[in-house]
Amino acid sequence: MLPCTSSAKVEDVQVVNIERLNSNDLLIANFCKKNGISGLTNGKLYVAAEMRYPADFLVSLVSEILEPMGLIYNIDMVILQEQLIHGVRGEVTPLLGKKIPGSEDLSWLGSQVRLNGNFVWKISE
Protein backbone atom coordinates (compact mmCIF):
# COMPACT_ATOMS: atom_id res chain seq x y z
CA MET A 1 0.00 0.00 0.00
CA LEU A 2 1.34 3.43 -0.95
CA PRO A 3 0.27 6.85 0.25
CA CYS A 4 -0.85 9.08 -2.61
CA THR A 5 0.66 12.16 -1.04
CA SER A 6 3.15 13.28 1.53
CA SER A 7 1.98 16.84 2.02
CA ALA A 8 -1.04 18.87 3.07
CA LYS A 9 -1.44 20.40 -0.39
CA VAL A 10 -3.77 19.06 -3.04
CA GLU A 11 -1.87 17.03 -5.61
CA ASP A 12 -2.58 15.06 -8.73
CA VAL A 13 -0.93 11.67 -8.61
CA GLN A 14 -0.13 9.26 -11.38
CA VAL A 15 -0.28 5.56 -10.56
CA VAL A 16 1.41 3.12 -12.94
CA ASN A 17 1.30 -0.68 -12.84
CA ILE A 18 5.02 -1.58 -12.75
CA GLU A 19 4.39 -4.95 -14.42
CA ARG A 20 3.57 -3.06 -17.61
CA LEU A 21 6.77 -1.01 -17.45
CA ASN A 22 8.75 -4.19 -16.80
CA SER A 23 7.08 -5.86 -19.77
CA ASN A 24 8.82 -3.20 -21.88
CA ASP A 25 12.19 -4.33 -20.44
CA LEU A 26 12.43 -1.05 -18.58
CA LEU A 27 13.62 -0.81 -14.99
CA ILE A 28 11.72 1.79 -12.97
CA ALA A 29 14.96 3.52 -11.88
CA ASN A 30 16.08 3.93 -15.50
CA PHE A 31 12.61 5.10 -16.53
CA CYS A 32 12.59 7.78 -13.81
CA LYS A 33 16.11 8.98 -14.59
CA LYS A 34 15.47 9.12 -18.34
CA ASN A 35 12.23 11.10 -17.90
CA GLY A 36 13.29 13.33 -15.00
CA ILE A 37 10.64 12.14 -12.58
CA SER A 38 10.66 10.92 -9.01
CA GLY A 39 8.10 9.14 -6.94
CA LEU A 40 7.37 6.17 -4.70
CA THR A 41 7.22 2.48 -5.49
CA ASN A 42 6.43 -0.69 -3.60
CA GLY A 43 7.64 -2.89 -6.45
CA LYS A 44 4.10 -3.29 -7.80
CA LEU A 45 2.97 0.30 -8.33
CA TYR A 46 4.79 3.52 -9.12
CA VAL A 47 3.27 6.78 -7.83
CA ALA A 48 4.41 10.21 -9.03
CA ALA A 49 2.86 13.47 -7.84
CA GLU A 50 2.43 16.96 -9.24
CA MET A 51 1.25 19.79 -6.99
CA ARG A 52 -0.72 21.82 -9.48
CA TYR A 53 -3.91 21.58 -11.42
CA PRO A 54 -4.13 20.75 -14.21
CA ALA A 55 -1.28 18.27 -13.90
CA ASP A 56 0.41 19.24 -17.16
CA PHE A 57 3.58 17.22 -16.54
CA LEU A 58 1.68 14.03 -15.65
CA VAL A 59 -0.66 14.44 -18.62
CA SER A 60 2.30 14.91 -20.99
CA LEU A 61 4.03 11.89 -19.43
CA VAL A 62 0.97 9.82 -20.34
CA SER A 63 0.61 11.08 -23.91
CA GLU A 64 4.28 11.49 -24.83
CA ILE A 65 5.96 8.60 -22.97
CA LEU A 66 3.65 5.94 -21.53
CA GLU A 67 1.06 5.60 -24.31
CA PRO A 68 3.72 5.37 -27.05
CA MET A 69 5.24 2.53 -24.99
CA GLY A 70 1.94 0.67 -25.34
CA LEU A 71 0.49 1.42 -21.91
CA ILE A 72 -3.24 2.12 -21.84
CA TYR A 73 -4.88 4.76 -19.65
CA ASN A 74 -7.15 3.25 -16.94
CA ILE A 75 -5.77 -0.23 -17.67
CA ASP A 76 -2.06 0.30 -16.92
CA MET A 77 -2.06 3.77 -15.38
CA VAL A 78 -4.33 6.51 -14.09
CA ILE A 79 -4.11 10.09 -12.81
CA LEU A 80 -6.06 10.68 -9.60
CA GLN A 81 -6.62 13.84 -7.59
CA GLU A 82 -5.80 13.70 -3.91
CA GLN A 83 -8.84 14.13 -1.69
CA LEU A 84 -8.59 16.51 1.25
CA ILE A 85 -9.55 14.88 4.54
CA HIS A 86 -10.49 18.02 6.48
CA GLY A 87 -12.40 20.75 4.69
CA VAL A 88 -14.02 24.01 5.65
CA ARG A 89 -14.46 24.46 9.41
CA GLY A 90 -12.62 21.17 9.97
CA GLU A 91 -15.41 19.06 8.52
CA VAL A 92 -14.31 15.56 7.52
CA THR A 93 -14.81 14.60 3.89
CA PRO A 94 -17.85 12.46 3.02
CA LEU A 95 -15.41 10.32 0.99
CA LEU A 96 -13.81 8.91 4.14
CA GLY A 97 -13.55 5.13 3.81
CA LYS A 98 -14.41 5.22 0.10
CA LYS A 99 -12.36 4.75 -3.08
CA ILE A 100 -10.51 7.76 -4.46
CA PRO A 101 -12.69 9.29 -7.21
CA GLY A 102 -11.53 8.12 -10.62
CA SER A 103 -10.42 4.71 -9.33
CA GLU A 104 -13.84 3.20 -8.65
CA ASP A 105 -13.94 1.06 -11.81
CA LEU A 106 -10.27 0.05 -12.01
CA SER A 107 -9.96 -3.71 -11.51
CA TRP A 108 -6.17 -3.53 -10.95
CA LEU A 109 -6.08 -0.75 -8.36
CA GLY A 110 -7.43 -0.57 -4.84
CA SER A 111 -7.71 2.82 -3.14
CA GLN A 112 -9.15 4.38 -0.04
CA VAL A 113 -9.50 7.81 1.53
CA ARG A 114 -8.54 7.49 5.21
CA LEU A 115 -8.09 9.90 8.10
CA ASN A 116 -4.31 9.60 7.67
CA GLY A 117 -4.30 10.12 3.90
CA ASN A 118 -5.16 8.73 0.49
CA PHE A 119 -3.80 5.23 -0.21
CA VAL A 120 -3.48 2.99 -3.27
CA TRP A 121 -2.47 -0.67 -3.70
CA LYS A 122 -2.29 -3.16 -6.55
CA ILE A 123 -5.06 -5.75 -6.59
CA SER A 124 -3.66 -9.20 -7.33
CA GLU A 125 -5.19 -11.08 -10.22
Give the start-to-end residue ranges of the domains of the chain. 2-122
DSSP for the chain? -EES-SSSS--EEEEEEHHHHHTTT--HHHHHHHHT---EE-SSEEEEEE-SSS-HHHHHHIIIIIGGGT--BTTTEEEEEPPPSB-GGGPBPTTTTSPPTT-TT-TTEEEEEETTEEEEEEPP-
Residue 110 has pLDDT above 90, yes or no: yes
Output the pTM of the full model.
Answer: 0.83
pLDDT of residue 100: 94
pLDDT at 9: 45
Split at pLDDT 50, 70, 90, the class of 3 is low
